[in-house]
Amino acid sequence: MYDVIVIGGGAAGMMAAGIAGSRGKKVLLIEKNKKLGEKLSITGGGRCNILNAEEDERLLLSHFGDAANFLHSPFSQFGLQETYNFFESIEVSTMVEARKRAFPESQSAPDVTAAMFKYVKAQGVDIKVGLPVARIHASGGAIQSVLMGGKEYSATSYIIATGGVSHPETGSTGDGFRWLRDIGHTVTDPTPTIVPVRVKDMWAKSLAGITIPDMKLTVYVNGVKKFAIKGNVLMTHFGISGPLILNNAGKISDLMQEGEVTAAIDAYPAMDLGILDKHIASVFDQNKNKELQNVFRSITPAGTADALLTLLPNIDRDKRVHSVTKEERRRIAELLKALPLTITGLMGLSRAVVADGGVALTEIDTKTMRSKVCKNLFIIGDLLNIKRPTGGYSLQLCWTTGFVAGENA
């Protein structure tokens, strides 16, 4: 008989188990993978965006959308400074980069996983890996036991931290959602929200791995402008990605219900068409006797020239620059101000950085993370229906809700 059983050995589960163990509780941590923290070890491109360093708590919470009001209590218990202090205590020093994204100084996600594992072990937590939970037995408004490896395990309190459904290769296959529905919770089906975008344009796909910096992307539905964003865009073999795209994928998904979604990349957002035309004329004037295909590299984002020339089929790439007409030069300027994309959809859950969906926060006492449906159950991390962008917000949610559950279970 345990005091606390934690199901799920990811970021939230390890935090909850360690904190409960530090209170002197007898804790069992169950993970169906062969080791803890499989998803944590690949997060942030393997670097682990451990938290977001926004010091204004109200502004930090605003990034969680409608969930912000529910999160004031847990964040007042374990917010930014407490998270910093915790990781310093387990010898994980952090550094802050652009957009207030904090990473471990080692730039290694596996280092964070290893430090968390060491912390959990130091708190005397029993750890069982490689054994999935087959069944959760609940009756009388409480969980009675869990079945694992043919054996029943019971505890006074249970914490479910099995994660959502993004990166299913790490074991996040939605088990927790099914259990929570069976127990009586309302669970919104997950959809990929922070996810790359698919396009049909071959010129874009041929640039896989290349980033177009400092561009403006304007999105249209049936030819009508809907919104525009500025920053960097990463070209991929299936379309477009990068933090800017990931954080706006949800908007694009919603627009696809309205009609055909297209987009245009402005590679020179700081110049209007007339100024860009003059800039190109100046570059051409300095390279009069060179072939267009060679000079084209001087006016296009690095690595994109050959692909973009395919969008100008009626202009001879071998001609000398002095033979390029004003009309042709103008067409080049117009292209660089509106590189065309036709969006065909979002990548699926397997590519999602974050998927929304989960348990309604109205069914959780967020002061303790205790279920209002099942009196000895606590629900944390990605199982909660909370939308958030990339940039450290997801892991902060895991650390915070994991701490609060671990303190109260």
pLDDT of residue 354: 53
pTM over 0.75: no
Report the range of poorest mean pLDDT among 102-116, 192-206, 374-388: 192-206
Least confident among 33-47, 161-175, 279-293, 335-349? 161-175
Long-range pairs, 280-287, Cβ under 8 A, ≥24 = 280/329, 280/332, 280/333, 281/329, 284/321, 284/322, 284/324, 284/329, 287/321
The mean pLDDT value for 380-401 works out to 89
**Averaged pLDDT, 153-167:** 82
**Residue ranges per structural domain of the chain:** 2-192+355-408, 196-347
Q: What's CA 10's distance to the chain center, in Å?
A: 16
Q: Reply yes or no on whether the pLDDT at 348 is more than 80.
A: no
Between the CA atoms of 27, 31, 32 and 36, what dihedral angle is there, to the nearest 10 degrees?
-150
Bridge partner list, 2: 155
In this predicted structure, the answer to whether residue 288 has a pLDDT above a threshold of 80 is yes
Token pair, residue 131, equals 């054994």
Average pLDDT, the chain: 91
29-33, 191-195, 241-245, 346-350: least confident range = 346-350
**CA-based end-to-end distance of the chain:** 15
CATH of domain 2-192+355-408: 3.50.50.60
Q: Looking at the predicted structure, is the pLDDT value of residue 28 above 80?
A: yes
